[in-house]
Amino acid sequence: MTRPAIPATGSGASPPGWWPVLGGVVAGAAALVAGELVATVLVPAGAPVAAVGGAVIDALPASLVNWGKETLGTADKPVLLGIVVLVVLALAGWAGASEVRRDGAGSLVLAGLATVAGVAAAVRAESLVAALPAAVAGVAGVVLLRALTRRLRAGGAGARAPAPRPGAEAVWNVPGLPIAPVVPASGSGPAGAARRSFLVWTSATAALTVIGAVALRAWGAAASVVEQTRALLTLPAPATTESVPAGAELGVDGLSSYRTPNATFYRIDTALRVPVVDADTWTLRITGLVEQEVTVTFAELLAMPLVEHAATLACVSNPVGGDLVGNATWLGLPIRELLARAGPLPGADMVLSTSEDGWTAGTPLEALTDPDREALLAVGMNGEPLPVEHGFPVRMVVPGLYGYVSATKWVRELRVTTFADDQGYWTPLGWAALGPVKTASRIDVPKRGSDVAAGPVVVAGVAWDQHTGIARVEVGIDGEWRDAELAEVTGPDTWRQWRLDWVATSGRHEIAVRATNSDGETQTSDIASPAPDGATGWHTVVLEVS
């Protein structure tokens, strides 16, 4: 503060110049706590402070970020987040002073801050919902700032005073307002009452803020710390990279993109609350039928040569034509590298992976030791750290197997064992012990029941048979089969886009799709429901062409 917000006047009626600053800081702190609480409970990915911290790191030159990491070590994150909080509080203090000088000026500062945080959060999470905590913080901040500073203006609580122009007399001495000269501090006039009211409200807000902050710590701190760790995490560059061929996208409207964005990637798990795993204390233990137990930390994992690999993940519960399937580029360590360190003993044929939340999957040992299959301990998904709901900090991804027998999220232990001795979570509940994916194909456009006019129509979709690959897709129009055009892929582990140009005639048509894998096996038309080992049948769409 270079000059007091409210110049002291001869009457001695002015409260100290730092009071508006105090009001601003308290309003700002309350807003921060409100935003973080909303984030913790509803949208962990939208934690405003972490989002701004992440954006700051992205904006800084890499050399400066590295310098920070080297000099501060593991304190780098708390220091950065602390700086963000201090800057916000300083600006809030300035907003308090501005608001008293000019009605609405400070509100604008706080609203601007919230907008920056909201945009940063939404961009990072690729989702508008992530802006919600910042929006709540912004509204809370503006409402509180106005409520508190109003009491430092004319006439007392609730009185509407004209905005003072810079250099104007102190507001409570504005000519024309029927305010008698008041005695400072202990004064009993309206201004004195307003000032007492300011102190009462400011103290109450501060007390609530402290309670909120304590609650945040006690019950949500873990979650938001994990989000913050995730937001600030920079993944190492892959030792081997994989580029997506330009021809992987056929560019058809309504067709699933080759890579599924993290924000729309399907999510399936038994967790009522997303497990909160701290990457800094995370370890993975390899136990059971091994020559020696192996334990790795997250830092050790990141220091190993990580590979980038695109693979399509599918859920065994996906019905024919359903959307419990997605394709991502994963970054991770081939699990065989760690298994080799542990040395599986003869007789072992299964790895039982256990999640932080106790969920388990039983995966054939050979699928994890196979040098030709990139079964990964994944830390990255489409170029960013695993989203918390997709298994942060580490999950498994095994091309060719349904998720329920392979894709353990929040993984903590790999126990080398046998199918005779152990079962994954879903097996005793009626699902098969082995879950290789079945060849599948789906029509994305035209959608069932959509309005289609006679003339040229593009029929398009995706087909998958992870680890075998798709060699052919045929589209049956009213029982007559035609070959579809196939897009390029990174390899046999991902789905493949396909399209067919069709000249539709008016009337009712039935469009079906069937894929043939690289082993020459065509999808069966036999209809099977998902339980116990995956649905079969041809996806069929009935259309009324006008």
Which residues are at the interface with ligand MTE (CB under 6 A)? 265-271, 313, 315, 355, 357, 359, 390, 403-404, 407-410
- Cis peptide, bond prior to residue 446, ω within 30 of zero: yes
Shortest Å distance, C-beta 388 to ligand MTE:
11
Q: Which residue has the tokens 């409402």?
A: 143
* Contact region with Mo ion (CB under 5 A), list: 52-60, 185-193, 213-221, 400-408: 400-408
Instruction: Return the one option of ligand MTE, Mo ion, none that residue 494 interacts with (CB less than 5 to 8 A, by type).
Output: none
Nearer to ligand MTE, 172 or 431 (CB): 431
Shortest Å distance, C-beta 387 to ligand MTE:
8
Q: Which of 21, 16, 31, 26 is nearest to 204 (CA)?
A: 26
Instruction: Return the one option of Mo ion, ligand MTE, none that residue 313 interacts with (CB less than 5 to 8 A, by type).
Output: ligand MTE
Nearer to ligand MTE, 133 or 332 (CB): 332
Beta carbons of 185 and 16 less than 8 angstroms apart: no
Nearer to ligand MTE, 56 or 268 (CB): 268
Instruction: Estimate the crossing angle of helix 48-59 against helix 105-125, to 10 degrees.
Output: 80
d(CA 87, CA 54): 15
Instruction: Return the one option of Mo ion, ligand MTE, none that residue 410 interacts with (CB less than 5 to 8 A, by type).
Output: ligand MTE
Is residue 137 left, alpha or beta, with left meaning phi > 0 and alpha meaning psi from -120 to 50? Answer: alpha
Is residue 392 left, alpha or beta, with left meaning phi > 0 and alpha meaning psi from -120 to 50? Answer: beta
404 binds Mo ion (CB under 5 A): yes
Beta carbons of 7 and 15 less than 8 angstroms apart: no
**Identity of the amino acid at 145:** L
Shortest Å distance, C-beta 324 to Mo ion:
7
Shortest Å distance, C-beta 492 to Mo ion:
21
Residue with the shortest CB distance to Mo ion: 315
d(CA 120, CA 133): 12
301 binds Mo ion (CB under 5 A): no
Nearer to ligand MTE, 198 or 426 (CB): 426
Instruction: Return the one option of Mo ion, ligand MTE, none that residue 355 interacts with (CB less than 5 to 8 A, by type).
Output: ligand MTE
Shortest Å distance, C-beta 431 to ligand MTE:
9
403 binds Mo ion (CB under 5 A): yes
Is residue 321 left, alpha or beta, with left meaning phi > 0 and alpha meaning psi from -120 to 50? Answer: left
Q: Which of 258, 385, 60 is nearest to 68 (CA)?
A: 60
Beta bridge partners of 503: 456
d(CA 281, CA 436): 33
Shortest Å distance, C-beta 429 to ligand MTE:
11
Shortest Å distance, C-beta 404 to ligand MTE:
4
* Token pair of 430 as six digits: 């009626």
Judged by CB under 5 A, the residue of 159, 161, 235, 268 near Mo ion is 268
> Mask 160-179, x = binds Mo ion (CB under 5 A)?
--------------------
Nearer to ligand MTE, 359 or 502 (CB): 359
Q: Which of 50, 28, 380 is nearest to 202 (CA)?
A: 28
Residue with the shortest CB distance to ligand MTE: 403
d(CA 172, CA 128): 44
The residues that touch Mo ion, with contacts defined as CB under 5 A, are 268, 315, 403-404
